[in-house]
Chains A and B, each alone.
Chain A
Amino acid sequence: MTFESAKSLSPSLEDYLQAIFWTVAAKGTARAKDIARQLEVKASSVTGALQALAQKQYVHYQPYEAVTLTAEGFDEATRVVQRHSIVREFFAGVLRLNDAAAEEKACRMEHCLGADVTDRLAALTEFVRTRPEVGEELSRLLAEQCRVADTPGRVQGKSVTVADLRPGQKAAIVAVRSEGALARRLVDMGLGRGALVEVEGIAPAGDPIRIRIRGYRLALRRSEAAAISVVGR
């Protein structure tokens, strides 16, 4: 248990870890000032947080040098980012909050939720997402009872892949779920863990799709894109 507590993170450190995750996804490494800008805090407080994270062996950090995630740090960050995305999608997709409110409230609420809660939220969100009739019923209910203006159900379930993204959406890769030649080819082309992808468009026949990854454009079939798990931003 002592080991567990040494590894556990405060809400604020979890926010730092998320910020580092997204900066690394976009740029490969993160500098203290990128993190400060993203979290809207002073550079001096970033230093303290980075030291704390380095002590827990989640990041590689030397003063004045760029920050990268350790393997352990990447896994922890993925957990935190995924949890954030589950809560946000639940707020937006089931409770029909608008995007900004969903994002803001998820930021505040996510830290105290354990896996027991987030798993159920994810399942519920997925349920609503895959059954449009339930979504419509839910919208009607919320409109009557809570005077919520009907917002279209912008919902994502728990296991999002590149194939689920709409043009213009960005997401970070958390895993490539495939084997052999395809998996290797995807990773060789730069679609590895932590990389940021953006869907740019879809072919006239609906397949393949074109994406941007590591600064260049790539086309892949939906069946291949479905092997790449991501978390949306």
Chain B
Amino acid sequence: MKSITVALAGNPNSGKTSVFNLLTGAHQHVGNYPGVTVEKKEGQCIHRDWRITFVDLPGTYSLTAYSAEELIARNHIQEDRPDVVVDVIDASNLERNLYLATQIMEMDVPMVLAFNMSDLAERRGLKFDLDQLSRLLEMRIVPTVGNKSQGRTELLDAIVETAGAERRERIHRVTYGQEIEDKLLQIQQALDRSDGDVVARYGRRWLAIKLLEQDEDVMSKVHDQKVLEVVGRSVVHLRTILGDEPEIIMADRRYGFISGACQETIQNSVERRHDISDTIDAVVTSRVLGLPIFLLLMYVVFFLTFKIGSYPMGWLEAFFGMLADAITSHWSDGHVEWLRSLLVDGVIGGVGGVLVFLPNILLLFMAIALLEDTGYMARAAFVIDRIMHKIGLHGKSFIPMLIGFGCSVPAIMAARILDNRRNQLTTIMVIPLMSCGARLTIYALFIPAFFPPHWQGPMLWLIYLIGIALGIVAAKVLRLTVFRGETMPFVMELPPYRMPTSKGVLVHTWQRGWLYIRKAGTVILAVSIALWFAMNFPKPPADRLEGRSAQEARQEGLRYSTVGRVGLAVEPLLRPLGFDWRVGTALIGSVAAKELFVSQLGIIYAVESPDEEAPSLREQLRADYTPLVGFCVMLFCLVSAPCIATVAMTRQETNSWGWALFQFFGLTALAYVLTLLVYQVGRLWL
């Protein structure tokens, strides 16, 4: 059996993913390209006596050095040299899709065109002379309909045939006009006299083209000063006689080549008339209805993720509760009790803590897949971009920020929909400031404890608004400092509305869920268990627990544990905020999960049922703290250290512990300064 590697290239929205699913079925592996957050998908299939490995390149419109995705796609083709590159083309949008093809052609690699969604194009009245186009482009062209599983065998046949075929020099290629071609030739001659290594790897003509385009990546790889001098002179000369940057003229000429090819091979039997997408857009992006429809759909996404998600979450919690009970009841008392506790509270609690987010993530990504596959996602960004742009973000940042009000973990994962790294990072950093559902349990305990009924509603609003305001300010500040740089062009395709397929949506949803469990899940589990140790060890000596009730024993245990000791040790640091060791200990415990803050306080105060309804806990709090301190605790919980699940997710999505820790300590520092200010200023007034 012969093995070959095939790279799948194509524009976003060309149906590349559905062709990839069609070719590889369920045999897929999702990961990241090393060092970046761009997703890397691989899959395999066996066809006749060939074992074919498919690499799904990021969807791109071009192959410049301006974006990470384009660089990755290009470097993969140039450096890993796949045996065949399959370019997936949306047949109903041929000109722009072929633009990428002309650039891959220039890299001199065997190619096959998958003429996708050819059924749609034909229904629109387009007739293709594929034989003629195939002769012109010198490659096999196979009509496919990815979401209806048509054209698989033909495409695979074309791939193995192309892989086995003898390589020939191209006859047709994009010619850039006399002036530019002259300069390309001069640069190629200069290259011939210089470092043979780079030339051998990338090819003379491609290097010359990229040098003339002043491609930063290629410029940095060519070290010969003589070559760079020739390039510099050529660029200046062309700029003068053509009146524009060579790269712009060259892009124009590629479209010229495509127009020529299309003219000869496409017949359009119907004049373009209003299609269904125009009609939908006229409503969905209209001045009057655009925003209401957007808000309604965002509400549906939120509702689906958290309201519907709460049922399976409940089942999961019940299941793990039962499991824990079963172990506790079968494990006789006094028999290595710490191991039982580790198993029940540490491991089962930890696994449960991981899986409890899964329903949210699956449902959210199902909603996102639906929005993306129908084509609405681009419209959502279009409608809200003006407002998001004001705070230095992209229209698409809205969804992750909104989901942040439910839970930061799926929200951070949702920031994947942003295709610019700086936008994605900024969004991830500020998401924890959107007050999540878990923090609501803290407010629910504190607000009624310290504020009269008619102040309770406004108080809750105030906390949420502070979070939003801080998020806006933080995003703005980050864009001006850490993530400074040219705002990326918005320029975004509005794909035609399409009916999503259940298979596409399910595959997408499942891949996200699995990625979460495999990557973030393991970190969450490990830290949960570590935290369990810190909360339970060292154990107080047996004589200190004598004659105490169960609650008092737990209280003593926590005070004696690592967490309790740290809480006590940091008390001097927390004093200026108005907090004592009890709040400190609960805060440390709440790093595992924000809602744990309440149960930790319960243990510390040794109350019987430590939940937010417990009047005794509220009364004790009221006795020990002023309303100002109560407010400060809420403020600190809102802003400070995101929970470990969030840290793990940030680590996964940014692919760096650096950013995860920056977020963790940055937000904690912000919380500290802010609370300090509020408490100290507040004390003067109240």
Contacts and interface: CB of A to CB of B under 8 A. Distances in A.
A181 B251 contact: no
Contact of A210 (B247, B281, B291, B496): B281
A218 to B, nearest CB: 6
Contacts of B248: 176, 183-184, 187, 192
A29 B491 contact: no
A206 to B, nearest CB: 7
A207 B96 contact: no
Interface stretch (A10-18, A44-52, A194-202): A194-202
Nearest to B70: A188
Interface residues of B, number: 53
Nearest to A202: B287
Contacts of A186: 489, 491
Contacts of A180: 66, 486
B242 interface: yes
B347 to A, nearest CB: 49
A132 interface: no
Contact of A201 (B66, B93, B282, B489): B282
A218 B386 contact: no
A176 B249 CA distance: 10
B285 A210 contact: yes
Interface in B262-301: 262-263, 272, 277-278, 281-282, 285-288, 290-291
B385 A190 contact: no
Contact of A208 (B247, B288, B490): B490
Nearest to A187: B251
What is the size category of the interface that chain A forms with chain B? 35 or more
B136 to A, nearest CB: 14
Contact of B66 (A66, A184, A194, A215): A184
A40 interface: no
Contacts of A207: 385-386, 389
B616 interface: no
Contact of B488 (A66, A181, A201, A202): A181
B379 to A, nearest CB: 8
Nearest to B94: A215
Interface in B83-98: 93-96
Interface stretch (B253-261, B467-475, B638-646, B663-671): B253-261
B316 to A, nearest CB: 40
B450 interface: no
Contact of B386 (A66, A179, A203): A203
A29 B489 contact: no
A202 B259 CA distance: 29
B678 interface: no
B181 interface: no
Contacts of A181: 64, 66, 486, 488-489
A200 B79 CA distance: 42
B488 A217 contact: no
Q: Report whether over half of chain A's contact residues are helix, strand or loop; otherwise say mixed.
A: mixed
Contact of B382 (A71, A193, A194, A208): A208
A103 interface: no
A182 B245 CA distance: 13
A189 B252 contact: no
A216 B93 contact: yes
A210 B385 CA distance: 12
A202 B24 CA distance: 41
Contact of A220 (B247, B259, B383, B492): B492
B66 A203 contact: no
Interface string A18-33: 0000000001110000
A146 B245 CA distance: 50
Given A29-B259, A184-B64, A206-B386, A217 B290 contact: no
Contacts of B334: none
Nearest to A30: B263
A37 to B, nearest CB: 14
Interface in B214-251: 242, 244-245, 247-248, 251
A190 B260 contact: no
B177 interface: yes
B259 A28 contact: yes
B383 A185 contact: no
A204 B383 contact: yes
Given A204-B285, A215-B93, A221 B389 contact: yes
A183 B245 contact: yes
A54 interface: no
B385 A221 contact: yes
B378 interface: yes
Contact of B177 (A27, A66, A71, A224): A71
Nearest to B95: A214
Given A185-B66, A185-B491, A201 B255 contact: no
A220 B387 contact: no
Contacts of A204: 285-288, 290-291, 383
Contact of B281 (A187, A193, A214, A217): A217
A141 B547 CA distance: 104
Interface in B353-399: 378, 381-383, 385-387, 389
A216 B275 CA distance: 12
Contacts of A112: none
A201 B262 CA distance: 28
Nearest to B395: A208
A206 B291 CA distance: 12
Contacts of B488: 181
Contacts of B94: 215
A195 B285 contact: no
B493 interface: yes
B348 interface: no
A30 to B, nearest CB: 10
B274 to A, nearest CB: 11
A74 to B, nearest CB: 9
B443 interface: no
A142 interface: no
B494 A28 contact: no
Contacts of B286: 201, 204
A215 B385 CA distance: 24
Given A71-B242, A188-B251, A182 B489 contact: yes
Given A184-B62, A203-B386, A214-B93, 10 more contacts: A28-B262, A71-B177, A189-B493, A192-B248, A192-B252, A195-B255, A204-B383, A205-B385, A206-B386, A210-B285
Interface of B: 61-62, 64, 66, 93-96, 99, 177, 242, 244-245, 247-248, 251-252, 255-256, 258-260, 262-263, 272, 277-278, 281-282, 285-288, 290-291, 378, 381-383, 385-387, 389, 486, 488-496
